[in-house]
């Protein structure tokens, strides 16, 4: 019995050290050597400062910026320490009211145009950094007016920042809201 207890304790210590310390350190070290940008959050830097991440959405406010999908992460959305959706079902009145309010707000901004679904629904994680090209084009009139640009200039910018399907067949075309807003800001310089 004593021998079995000793073996159990030693096995627990060895596996804890191997799987709890050595393995994570090796994987982290390999990631830092082989994929340093991805291992560090794919940060976007401008003029030496971190302005965002390629993989995590952030809120943009104001008429002169493209807006991302709504976020249910945290109390006010976009809370990186509280990733996740609202878990509200499609028949939940709170979700219906929020979506209806978002649709009404979007239609007031761009009357007569159908509102792309990704402008009024959250992603599962709450941090989807992309919107559909249709959602970007929907916002063009507001941004063109706020920035004193022609709608064609803004549409061309959206087209230049639209990413195709990954490897030509995975996923859907998408637009990074952060990259698009950075491209807009660079036009002012």
Determine the angle formed by the axes of helices 133-147 and 151-160, rounding to 10 degrees.
140
pLDDT digit string (tens) for 41-58? 888 888 888 888 888 888
Structure token pair of residue 56 = 């995590």
Q: Which residues contact 178 (CB under 8 A, 6 or more apart)?
A: 44, 51, 52, 53, 54, 57, 58, 129
pLDDT digit string (tens) for 133-189? 999 999 999 999 999 999 999 999 999 999 988 888 888 899 999 999 999 988 865
Entry pTM: 0.77
């Amino acid at each position: 019995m004593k021998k079995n207890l000793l073996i159990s304790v030693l096995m627990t210590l060895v596996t804890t050290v191997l799987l709890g310390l050595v393995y994570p350190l090796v994987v982290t070290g390999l990631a830092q050597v082989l994929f340093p940008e991805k291992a560090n959050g794919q940060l976007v830097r401008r003029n030496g400062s971190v302005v965002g991440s390629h993989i995590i959405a952030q809120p943009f406010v104001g008429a002169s910026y493209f807006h991302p999908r709504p976020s249910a992460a945290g109390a006010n959305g976009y809370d990186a320490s509280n990733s996740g959706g609202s878990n509200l079902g499609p028949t939940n009145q709170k979700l219906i009211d929020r979506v209806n309010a978002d649709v009404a707000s979007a239609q007031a901004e761009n009357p007569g145009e159908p509102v792309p679904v990704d402008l009024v629904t959250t992603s599962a994680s709450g941090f989807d950094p992309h919107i559909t090209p249709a959602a970007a084009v929907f916002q063009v009139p507001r941004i063109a007016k706020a920035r004193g640009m022609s709608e064609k200039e803004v549409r061309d910018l959206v087209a230049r920042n639209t990413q195709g399907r990954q490897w030509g067949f995975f996923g859907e075309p998408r637009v990074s809201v952060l990259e698009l807003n950075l491209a807009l800001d660079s036009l002012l310089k």
